[in-house]
């Protein structure tokens, strides 16, 4: 595994480029989930602080994924809405949440809008967006 701490966002984004937009977007989402620690803040830390600290909340992770997708020529926008956290042995909790919608070209060339979420997979969300930034 390559140590990416000394690399720029652009360098890592280029390393994650794959043969298709879909594979590139999935590689970026996976990288963010594996390398950026979720850390709640009342306000977003911002792209540079998220990168430097390798930590951030859902907004920071969405901004980082958006920048890495942009570097690879993939259009996306951040969605502000609500997610439902499903935690074992607790009632589902509805919380404010941010994630990405990306426009991906499939193998036929058709455009598809796909949701990407940097927050760990073990926390499942019912993503219902109520606004775009």
Model confidence at 129, pLDDT cuts 50, 70, 90, reads low
Task: Give the pLDDT confidence score for residue 98 in this predicted structure.
Answer: 85
* Ordered domains of the chain (ranges, CATH): 9-132 (3.10.620.30)
Task: Give the pLDDT confidence score for residue 115 in this predicted structure.
Answer: 80
pLDDT digits (tens, 9 = 90+) for 25-64: 999 999 998 999 988 878 888 999 999 999 999 899 999 9
Angle between helices 58-71 and 21-35 (to 10 degrees): 140
Model confidence at 94, pLDDT cuts 50, 70, 90, reads confident
Instruction: Return all residues near 17 (Cβ < 8 A) that are at least 6 apart.
Output: 24, 27, 72
The answer to whether 98 and 85 are in contact (CB under 8 A) is: no
The answer to whether 69 and 25 are in contact (CB under 8 A) is: yes
Strands 76-85 and 37-38: unpaired
More confident call, 98 vs 69: 69
Share of the chain above pLDDT 90, in %: 39
């Amino acid at each position: 595994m390559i140590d990416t701490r000394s690399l720029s966002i652009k360098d890592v984004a280029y390393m994650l480029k794959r043969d298709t937009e879909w594979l590139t977007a999935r590689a970026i989402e996976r990288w963010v989930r594996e390398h950026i620690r979720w850390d709640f803040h009342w306000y977003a830390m911002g792209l540079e602080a998220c990168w430097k600290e390798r930590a951030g909340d859902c907004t920071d992770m969405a901004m980082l994924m958006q920048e890495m997708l942009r570097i690879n020529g993939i259009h996306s926008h951040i969605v502000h809405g609500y997610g439902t956290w499903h935690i074992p042995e607790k009632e589902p909790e509805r919380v404010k949440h941010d994630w990405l919608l990306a426009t991906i070209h499939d193998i036929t060339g058709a455009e598809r809008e796909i949701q990407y979420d940097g927050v760990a997979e073990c926390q499942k969300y019912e993503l219902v967006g109520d606004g775009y930034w």
